[in-house]
Amino acid sequence: MPVDVVFVEPVFPSNQREFVRALHAVGARVIGIGERPKEALDEGLRHWLTHYEQIGNVTDETQLERAVRFIQTKVKVNRLEAVVEAHVMAAAKVRERCGIPGTSVRSTFLCRDKPAMKEALRQAGVACAQSIGSSSPDDIKHFAARVGFPLIVKPRDAAGASGTERVDNGPELDRALARFGVPQRSVAVEEFIEGHEGFYDTITIGGRVVHDFVTHYYPNVLEAMRTRWISPQFISTNRIDSAPGYASVRAMGQEVITALGLETTATHMEWFSGPKGLKFSEIGCRPPGVRAWDLYAAGNDLDIYAEWAMAVVHGKKAQRLSRQYAAGVIALRPTQDGRISGYHGLDEVHRRFGKWFIDEHLPAPGTPTQPVDAGYMANAWMRLKHPDYDTLRGMLNIIGQTVKVIAQ
């Protein structure tokens, strides 16, 4: 019997098409629901999709449910999949209303609401930062008096470091709460955890991790997203099976997945390791952003999108991870806001490290720059791999010191 999978928003962002390609490749019939007109589908999507429904807003549960119920009058929908953070809750609610298997509303809520997530995990014995979710300035200030500064303030449903602020004293906290709209809005306030930051990503089947990856940030995200002169990196290690320390990250990851009731899905978990030990930060029931999966594919000689599709459609994995390469990305920030006028140092790094390049993005002169806090791939970037993790990190450091993105 054919497996019919509804996939939310196949066109944007651009790597969404890879999930559609992979679902088709493993034998699913893929039905797309998106906001773009059919004319926006490229040749590949038109080939891989058996049907496409356009709606006004894929995060609008009413519109999404109407489209899914229409599709259910034509076929039996076996799965409804969404892999973008902003789409997962609407998909979960429609999934349950329409009787389609997949990640539950409860699990999705716990993956998006940071205070509820932390409370559930503390009850399960997972080490994480002290936190509060509140719209009461008095309650938040009492929390600050008990825990002490610095603190982290962010939206309850933030993805990664999006919208996150560090506050170091009472006046900074007052200003942050005002910017977040407290008391009209509820925010998440957390203990600041000192230490090295990384992420742990998985593909799970029936709540069991079948593929996993550990990636390190240099420097930590909050600093990287707020400091122009830094060329931040993240590097996926190929030592996860051999180097000491990773067993505890993997064990924590499985504990989190079990506690939150995650079944067959991709996950993205952030963690800190420092003076207070290994601490969980947050998890998403979706793949990581910033095209980190491309690094995993390059480092492990596999089609990771097809592995996700095999899990979703057939409940099994097809390939083993080679762990042959460490793979990383370095973001190259323009010297100032404005328009890119040129580059320095490209010839040198291409000459020295050309064989290890995966790919690169160098916006043409005249391209408007994006703000520093827009993310790792907002401006120029380079991605490389190497069999030795430390050698790769050294190469990325040299690129950061050598390549200059000139803006005027």
Model pLDDT, residue 332: 97
Contact 198, 328 (CB under 8 A): no
Closest-CA residue to 10 (of 66, 87, 62, 73): 87
User: What letter would DSSP give residue 374?
Assistant: G
With a cut of 60, say whether residue 160 has pLDDT above it: no
Binning pLDDT at 50, 70 and 90, where does residue 386 land? very high
The tens digit of pLDDT for each residue in 350-378 reads 999 999 999 999 999 999 999 998 999 99
**Quick one: what percent of the chain has pLDDT higher than 90?**
90
pLDDT band of 161, cuts 50, 70, 90: low
- In whole angstroms, how far apart are CA 157 and each of 15, 66, 109, 222? 23, 25, 9, 17
**Residues 259-308 pLDDT 10s:** 999 999 999 999 999 998 999 999 999 999 999 999 999 999 999 999 99
Cα–Cα–Cα angle for 256, 260, 262, rounded to 5 degrees: 95
For residue 131, the one-letter residue type is S
Please tell me the distance from the alpha carbon of residue 405 to that of residue 264, in angstroms, as a whole number.
Answer: 42
Of the chain, the percentage scoring pLDDT greater than 70 comes to 99
User: What domains appear along the chain, each with residue ranges and CATH number?
Assistant: 4-102 (3.40.50.20), 130-191 (3.30.1490.20), 196-407 (3.30.470.20)
User: The tokens 């370095």 sit on which residue?
Assistant: 330
CB 354 within 8 A of CB 331: no
Question: What tokens does 203 get?
Answer: 């593909």
Structure tokens at 395: 């190469």
Counted residue by residue, the chain has a size of 408
Q: In what order do the strands lie in the sheet with 151-155?
A: 131-134, 187-191, 151-155, 165-167
C-alpha span between 312 and 371 (Å, rounded): 37
Q: 146-150, 163-167, 206-210: which range is least confident on average? A: 163-167
Please, what is the average pLDDT of the chain?
A: 95
Beta bridge partners of 233: 218, 330
Q: What number of CA atoms fall less than 13 Å from residue 330's CA on the CB side? A: 23
pLDDT by residue (tens digit) across 220-260? 998 998 889 999 999 999 999 999 889 999 999 999 999 99
Which runs of consecutive H residues, i.e. helices, occur in 149-220?
Answer: 170-180
